[in-house]
Amino acid sequence: MKWTFLLFCFFTGTLAFAQSSYLVTKFEMKIKGTSNLHNWESSAYEVRANGNFTVTAGTLKSLQSLYLEIPVKTIKSTKGSVMDNKTYDALKASSNPNIMYKFDKLLSLGKRDNVYDINTAGYLTIAGSTHRIEMYVQGQLNADGSITFIGSKSIKMTDYNVSPPTALMGTLTTGNDVEIAFQITFKQI
């Protein structure tokens, strides 16, 4: 009888803290930059993403994995197809069709009110060049059990071997600094 009870406690405890698989259900991403003539903004319209998170008793306990992939040619700018084609060329879309992020490590996870403060480390791949980055995001558990992450990250294009695009015979030059702002919602599968 004691062994049965101990086994029950062990498996119940293990299941209570088991990680669950999640897939993306909603996604918004803006890429913002500057040029010598005007600011510019592009949006990514497609993402493939999945993750494993532990939620216990309505509380986010940890992140075990997260993988995100954005097809470069689903990025569209407010400036039209000329800017889009310059972006695809700069990002080497023909040989590197996806921007990828792979979670590596949870650095910290805290909660204040209904918001989680999450610091992570992971690998960002752009135009075939991969760098380990640290990123702060805010997380929120939604009433339907989904999890939303909101954040932004500033990067330099040249860190990823991307030459800032030019146009109009070089009279329009884009700045090297880019901000990537995102909101992504995952639902348990």
What pLDDT, in 10s, does the model give residues 64-110? 999 999 999 999 998 788 889 989 999 999 999 999 999 999 999 99
Strand partners, 130: 125
- Residue-wise pLDDT for 26-79, tens only, equals 999 999 998 777 788 999 999 999 999 999 999 999 999 999 999 999 999 987
**Number of helices followed by number of strands (H, E) in the chain:** 2, 11
Helical H segments across the chain, by residue range: 2-16, 81-90
Domains for the chain: give ranges and CATH numbers. Answer: 19-188 (2.40.128.110)
pTM value > 0.75? yes
H or E element, residue 165: none
Sign of CA dihedral 120, 64, 140, 47: positive
